Structure 1
Amino acid sequence: MANTSLKNKKRLWLGLKTAHAQLDLAKLMFFYGDSFENHQIYELDEATEILKHPRFDATKETTLYIHGYIETPEVESIHVIVDAYQKNGDHNLLVLDWGELADGNYLLDAVQNAKQLGPKVATVLIGLFSNGLQRDLFHLVGHSLGGQMSGMVGRSIFKKSKETIKLKRISALDPAFPPFYPAIGTTAISKNDAVMVDVIHTDAGLYGAPRSTGTVDFWPNSGKTLQPGCPKRDYKLLTDIGLKDLCSHRRSWRFWAESVAAKDTPTFHAVKSKSWSDFKKFRVDESYIIQMGLNCPETARPGDYYLQTNGDQPYSKGINGITYEKNENVVFPTND
Structure 2
Amino acid sequence: MHKAVKNKSRLLCGLKKSKADLTTAKFILYYGPTVADSDIYDMHDYQNLLTDEHLDLSKNTVLYLHGYLEDPDEESIHVIAEAYLERTEDTNLIVLDWGELADGNYMFDAVVNMKQLGPELAKVLLEMFEHGLDIERFHIVGHSLGGQMAGVIGREVFKRSKGKKKIKRISALDPAFPLFYLTAGLGTHLNKNDAEFVDVIHTDAWLYGAPSSTGTADFWPNGGKTLQPGCPKRNYKMLSENDLSSHRRSWWFWAESVSDRFPIKFDAVAAKSWSDFKDGKLVENSPHVVMGHFCPTTVHGDFYLQTNGATPFARGKEGTMYVEPKELIGNNYVEPSVSPSH
Structure 1 and Structure 2 fold alike (TM over 0.5): yes
Greater shift, 193-202 or 44-53, is seen at: 44-53
> Deviation digits for residues 147-193 of structure 1, max 9, x if unmatched?
00000000010011111000000000000001001254221000000
Structure 2 residue 151 is matched with structure 1 residue 148: no
- Note the C-alpha offset of 1:319: 1.1
Structure 1 equivalent of residue 65 of structure 2: 66
> Deviation digits for residues 30-74 of structure 1, max 9, x if unmatched?
111211111000011111222211121122100000000000100
Structure 2 equivalent of residue 262 of structure 1: 260
Within 2, Cα distance between the matches of 1:104 and 1:243? 18
Structure 2 equivalent of residue 306 of structure 1: 304
Within 2, Cα distance between the matches of 1:29 and 1:288? 38
Structure 2 equivalent of residue 332 of structure 1: 335
Within 1, Cα distance between the matches of 2:280 and 2:216? 23
One-letter amino acid of the structure 2 residue matched with residue 225 of structure 1: T
Which stretches in structure 2 are left out of the alignment for 5+ residues?
Answer: none
- Note the C-alpha offset of 1:265: 4.2
Structure 2 equivalent of residue 281 of structure 1: 279
> Deviation digits for residues 110-150 of structure 1, max 9, x if unmatched?
00000000011111111111011111110000000000000
Verify the 8 A CA contact 2:61 2:94 in the aligned structure 1. yes
Structure 2 residue 166 is matched with structure 1 residue 173: no
Within 2, Cα distance between the matches of 1:12 and 1:234? 31
Within 2, Cα distance between the matches of 1:138 and 1:29? 16
Within 1, Cα distance between the matches of 2:121 and 2:10? 26
Verify the 8 A CA contact 2:264 2:315 in the aligned structure 1. no
Structure 1 equivalent of residue 314 of structure 2: 316
> Deviation digits for residues 191-242 of structure 1, max 9, x if unmatched?
0000000000000000000111111000000000000000011335xx46x4
One-letter amino acid of the structure 2 residue matched with residue 181 of structure 1: Y
Verify the 8 A CA contact 1:140 1:150 in the aligned structure 2. yes
One-letter amino acid of the structure 2 residue matched with residue 218 of structure 1: F
Structure 2 equivalent of residue 113 of structure 1: 113
- Note the C-alpha offset of 1:7: 2.8
The number of aligned residues is: 331
Structure 2 equivalent of residue 221 of structure 1: 222
- Note the C-alpha offset of 1:24: 0.3
Greater shift, 54-63 or 91-100, is seen at: 54-63
Verify the 8 A CA contact 2:155 2:194 in the aligned structure 1. yes
Residues 6, 37 of structure 1: alpha-carbon distance in 2 compared, 3 angstrom cutoff:
closer
Verify the 8 A CA contact 2:11 2:18 in the aligned structure 1. no
Verify the 8 A CA contact 2:264 2:314 in the aligned structure 1. no
Structure 1 equivalent of residue 206 of structure 2: 205
Within 2, Cα distance between the matches of 1:234 and 1:108? 26
Q: CA RMSD in A?
A: 1.7
SS in 2 for 1:45: coil
One-letter amino acid of the structure 1 residue matched with residue 271 of structure 2: S
SS in 2 for 1:284: coil
SS in 2 for 1:153: helix
Structure 2 residue 63 is matched with structure 1 residue 95: no
One-letter amino acid of the structure 2 residue matched with residue 138 of structure 1: F
Verify the 8 A CA contact 2:170 2:195 in the aligned structure 1. yes
Residues 323, 209 of structure 1: alpha-carbon distance in 2 compared, 3 angstrom cutoff:
same
Greater shift, 27-36 or 265-274, is seen at: 265-274
**Percentage of pairs with the same residue:** 55
Output the TM-score relative to the length of structure 2. Answer: 0.93
Which stretches in structure 1 are left out of the alignment for 5+ residues?
Answer: none
Verify the 8 A CA contact 1:15 1:107 in the aligned structure 2. no
